[in-house]
Amino acid sequence: MTAATPPDPTEPAERAGPRPDRAQYGLAAFLALVGVWTVVDSAGLDPGFADQVVGPAAFGYVIGSGLVVLAVLLAVATARGDRAEGEAGEDVDLDRATDWRTLGGLAGVLLATVVLIDWLGWAIVGALLFAGAATVLGNRHWVRNLAIGTVLSVTSWYGFYVGLGIPIPAGVLDGIL
Amino acid sequence: MDALLTGLSMALTPENLLYAVVGVLLGTAVGVLPGIGPAMTVALLLPVTYNVSPSAALIMFAGIYYGGMYGGSTTSILLNTPGESSSVITALEGNKMAKRGRAAQALATAAIGSFVAGTIGTILLVAVAPTVAEWVVVLGAPSYFALMLLALVAVTSVLGSSKLRGFSSLALGLAIGLVGTSTGQARLTFDNPLLADGIDIVVVAVAIFAVGEALWVAAHLRRRPLEIIPVGRPWMDRKDWRRSWAPWLRGTAYGFPFGALPAGGAELPTFLSYITERRLAGEHRAEFGKGAIEGVAGPEAANNASAAGTLVPLLAIGLPTTATAAVILAAMQSYGLQPGPQLFEAEPELVWTLLASLFVANTLLLVINLPLAPLWARLLRIPRPYLYAGILFFAVLGAYSVNFQRFDVLLLCLFGALGFAMRRFGLPVLPLIVGVILGPRLEEQLTQALQLSQGDVSALWSEPVAVIVYVVIAVLLLGPLVLRLIPGKQGPERLEDEVEELEEEVRS
C-alpha cells in the first residue's frame, strides 16, 4: 500500500479527463501531517497509571497511523486519476471557478473579528463582521450593511444579556450598553 | 401510556407550547433558506438554549428538527436545485409539478404526507424506543463498544459515498476527539491550557456546518438569481387525496426502519419509495418524470418517517446516525444528559416530554405551515450576501458565547477552513462530527470493558450482542467488496447508478 507502482502517465489522462486533481495531494499531505503528529504526540506521553488498562497513547497510535494509511491511499487514488466531487447546493454553481477574491475577503473579515473581539466587544465587532461579510459577498451598499449589522449585533447583545441571561462582555462599550 | 399522557400534559403547558411554536417556526424558516439544513440550524441555535431548562430546549429541538425537514421540502419543490441529499427525490417530481402550475398541490401533499408519516413514525418511536432501551440497559461495556464501532462504520460507509473519503473524515474527527486531558495527560493540546478540556463540540459543529458552508458557497456563489415558482395556499382536491394516501403509508413503511437502523440515512428509503410508486402508479405512470403527485407524496413521507426513526437509536442507545441527531446528542450532553437506556430510567419525565412534544411539533407544523407557505416561498428571495453574512454572524456569536474567549473564535475559523476543504474534496461531514462525539466515549467503554476483565482482550467478544454486532460490521465493510466480485453491478452501486439516471432523465 505504498506508492511503489508509479502510475502510467497516460492512463489517468484517458480515464478521468485532462489532469489529475493535484490539489488532492495537498489534502493527503494534510492527513499525513495530522496522523504523524498524532503518533508523535502519543509517543511522548507517560505510560499512564498502573490501573489504566488502555494506555493514554493507545488511541492516538491507532488513529494517527490510520490517518497516515488513509493519506497514502488517497495519494495513490489521486495519482490514478481520482477526482473529488465538490458538494452541490442551492446557491452553489460548481461550473464557476473558485472565487478566491471573495474567499480572501471573508477570511480577512473573520481574522479581523478574532483580533478585535475581546477589545471592541461583540456589539461593535458583530456589526463590522456582518457589514464586512455582506460587502465582500457582493452587496456594495456598505452604509446600509453597517446599519443592518449594528441593529443585529446590538439586539443580539441585549437579547443574550437580558433575554437569555448570557453575559457577553461588552468590550470598550462597557458601561455604555 | 400513562407516561406519554404525563409527557403530553407537560408539553402542552403554555410555556412549553411557546417553545414548540418557536422551534417549528425557526426550524421551518431556516429549513427553507437555501444552504441551511436542520443540522446547521440546531448547531447555530445551541447557544440560545444554554440558559433554558433541558426540557424546554429539547421541545424546541423537536420543533426545529421536524420543521427543518419540512422547510427543506418546500425549497426543493419551489427551486429546482435540492439542498440536502434526502430531498433530491422530492425535487425530481415536486419541481416538475410546480412548473406545471401544481405547486400548491405538491406542497400540500408534502406537508400532509410529512404529518402522516411523522405521526405514525412518532407512534412507532414511542412503541419501540422504551423496549429497545430495556434490551440495551442490560448490556455491558463490550457490547456498547461494539455498538459504537458499528455506528462509526455505518455513518462512514453510507450509500453513494467514497469509503476512502468517509474514513478520512472519520479519522480526522477521532483525532479532534483526542484533544484534551481526559486520560489524565494532555493529548494534542500544544501545551495550551485552553485546550485542556478538549475542543467544544459546539465550536466544531458550528464551524463545520455553518462557517464551512458559508465559505464554500461564497467561493461558488451563483450570480444569476434562481427561478422561484410563486405559490398560493397549498390545497388538494379529492383526486389528489386519493392518489396520495397510499404513497404516504408506503413511504412511512420504508422510512421508519431505515431511520431506526444504525445504518440510517434518508436517501435509500426515499429512493425506494420513489421507484415503488412509479411501479404501482398504473394509469398515472406516464406522469412520472413530468410531475406525478405520487412521486412527491411517497418520498416526502419516507423522509419524515426516517427522521422519526433516527430518534430510536439516539434516545434508546445513545447513537447518532444523522448529522442532526449528532448535534442534538451534543446538546443533550451539554446539559449533562447522556442519551441511552439509563436516560429512560433516570429522567423519564424529560424523555416522555420530548416524545410528546414530537407529536405537538408535528401537528403545529401542519397547522402553521399550510397557511404560511406563501410567506416561506418569499424567504427564498432573501439577498444572498445578507443570508451568508448572517450565517457567519450567528456562527461567531455562537462560538464566542461558549466561553467568551477569542480563542474559540479562532478555532471556529480554523475548523471553518477545514469545513471548506472538506466540501471542496468531497469529504462527508457526518463521520467527522460523529467521530468527535463518539471517539471519547468509545475509549471510555473500551477502558471499562478491559478493566473488568483486567486487560484480557477476549472480553470484547464475551457478550453475544457484541459478537452479532461485529458480524454486522464485517458485512457492512466487506459486503460491497464481495458484491463487486459478482459480475454486473449489484446492490448499492446499481442503486446509485439508477439514482443518477433518474436525475438526468428528469432534469433533461
The model's pLDDT over B14-71, given as tens digits with 9 standing for 90+, comes to 888 998 998 899 888 888 887 777 788 888 877 777 778 888 888 888 888 888 888 8
**CA of B450 vs chain A CAs: smallest distance (Å):** 6
What is residue A36's predicted lDDT score, i.e. its pLDDT? 95
Residues A106 and A169 in one domain: yes
* B180, closest residue in chain A (CA to CA): A56
- SS3 per residue for B338-407: CCCHHHHHHCHHHHHHHHHHHHHHHHHHHHHHHHHHHHHHHHCCCCHHHHHHHHHHHHHHHHHHHHCCHH
Is residue A12 over pLDDT 60?
no
Mean predicted confidence (pLDDT) in B260-264: 71
What is residue B146's predicted lDDT score, i.e. its pLDDT? 92
More confidently predicted of B348 and A54 = B348
Judge whether A95 lies within some domain.
Answer: no
Q: What are phi and psi of B33, to 5 degrees?
A: -60, 130
Residues A74 and A19 in one domain: yes
Residues A15 and A51 in one domain: yes
Is residue B264 over pLDDT 70?
no
Contact B220 A70 (CB under 8 A): no
User: In B, residues 127-156, which contact A (CB 8 Å cutoff)?
Assistant: none
Distance CA B59, CA B353 (A): 8
* pLDDT band for position A4 (cuts 50, 70, 90): very low
* B72, closest residue in chain A (CA to CA): A90
Count of A-B CB contacts under 8 Å = 225
Best mutation target among A76, A78, A87 (most B Cβ atoms within 10 Å) is A87
Residues A105 and A168 in one domain: yes
Residues A108 and A164 in one domain: yes
What is residue B487's predicted lDDT score, i.e. its pLDDT? 63
More confidently predicted of B34 and B220 = B220
pLDDT tens-digit series, residues B222-243? 776 667 777 777 888 889 999 9
Domain that holds residue A18: 10-79
Which residues on B lie below 8 Å from A156 (Cβ)? Answer: 397
Contact B218 A106 (CB under 8 A): yes
Is residue B393 over pLDDT 70?
yes
Q: Please identify, among A47, A79, A111, the residue that sits at the C-terminal boundary of a domain.
A: A79
Residues A117 and A150 in one domain: yes
Best mutation target among A45, A49, A67, A91 (most B Cβ atoms within 10 Å) is A91
pLDDT more than 90, % of chain B: 28
Closest CB from A46, A63, A134 relative to B185:
A46
Judge whether A127 lies within some domain.
Answer: yes
What is residue B47's predicted lDDT score, i.e. its pLDDT? 75
What is residue B85's predicted lDDT score, i.e. its pLDDT? 65
Judge whether A90 lies within some domain.
Answer: no
What is residue B488's predicted lDDT score, i.e. its pLDDT? 60
More confidently predicted of B492 and A24 = A24
Residues A21 and A69 in one domain: yes
By mean pLDDT, which of A57-61, A134-138, B262-266, B404-408 is the weakest? B262-266
Judge whether A70 lies within some domain.
Answer: yes
**CA of B166 vs chain A CAs: smallest distance (Å):** 10
**CA of B406 vs chain A CAs: smallest distance (Å):** 6
Q: How many domains does chain A have?
A: 2
pLDDT tens-digit series, residues B198-217? 888 888 988 998 899 899 99
Judge whether A112 lies within some domain.
Answer: yes
Is residue B363 over pLDDT 50?
yes
Cα dihedral: B152, B66, B333, B463 (round 10): -40
Return contacts of A16-22, CB within 8 angstroms, 24+ apart: A16/A81, A16/A82, A16/A83, A17/A81, A17/A83, A20/A78, A20/A79, A20/A80, A20/A81, A20/A82, A20/A83, A21/A78, A21/A82, A21/A83, A21/A84, A22/A78
How far does CA B276 lie from the centroid of its chain? 24
Judge whether A94 lies within some domain.
Answer: no
What is residue B160's predicted lDDT score, i.e. its pLDDT? 54
- Would you say B143 and A6 are in contact if contact means Cβ atoms under 8 Å apart? no
**CA of A58 vs chain B CAs: smallest distance (Å):** 9
Cα dihedral: A101, A106, A107, A108 (round 10): 90
Is residue A14 over pLDDT 60?
no
Residues A163 and A107 in one domain: yes
Is residue B494 over pLDDT 70?
no
Is residue B5 over pLDDT 80?
yes
Contact A38 B400 (CB under 8 A): no
Mean predicted confidence (pLDDT) in B81-87: 63
Q: Tell if the pTM clears 0.90, that is, is over it.
A: no
**CA of B131 vs chain A CAs: smallest distance (Å):** 33
More confidently predicted of B261 and A101 = A101
Contact A66 B167 (CB under 8 A): yes
Judge whether A89 lies within some domain.
Answer: no
Is residue B470 over pLDDT 90?
yes
What is residue A112's predicted lDDT score, i.e. its pLDDT? 95
Q: Please identify, among A26, A48, A79, the residue that sits at the C-terminal boundary of a domain.
A: A79
ipTM computed for the complex: 0.87
Distance CA B88, CA B333 (A): 32
Contact B187 A60 (CB under 8 A): yes
Distance CA B81, CA B67 (A): 20
Judge whether A87 lies within some domain.
Answer: no
Tell me what the pLDDT averaged over chain B comes to.
85
Cell (9 digits) for B431: 463521520
What is each CA distance from A14 to A18, A86, A87, B57, B152, in whole angstroms? Answer: 8, 21, 25, 55, 36
* pLDDT band for position A7 (cuts 50, 70, 90): very low
Closest CB from A74, A139, A166 relative to B51:
A166
* A138, closest residue in chain B (CA to CA): B385
Is residue B81 over pLDDT 70?
no
What is each CA distance from B247 to A97, B275, B300, in whole angstroms? Answer: 41, 11, 9
Contact B183 A91 (CB under 8 A): no
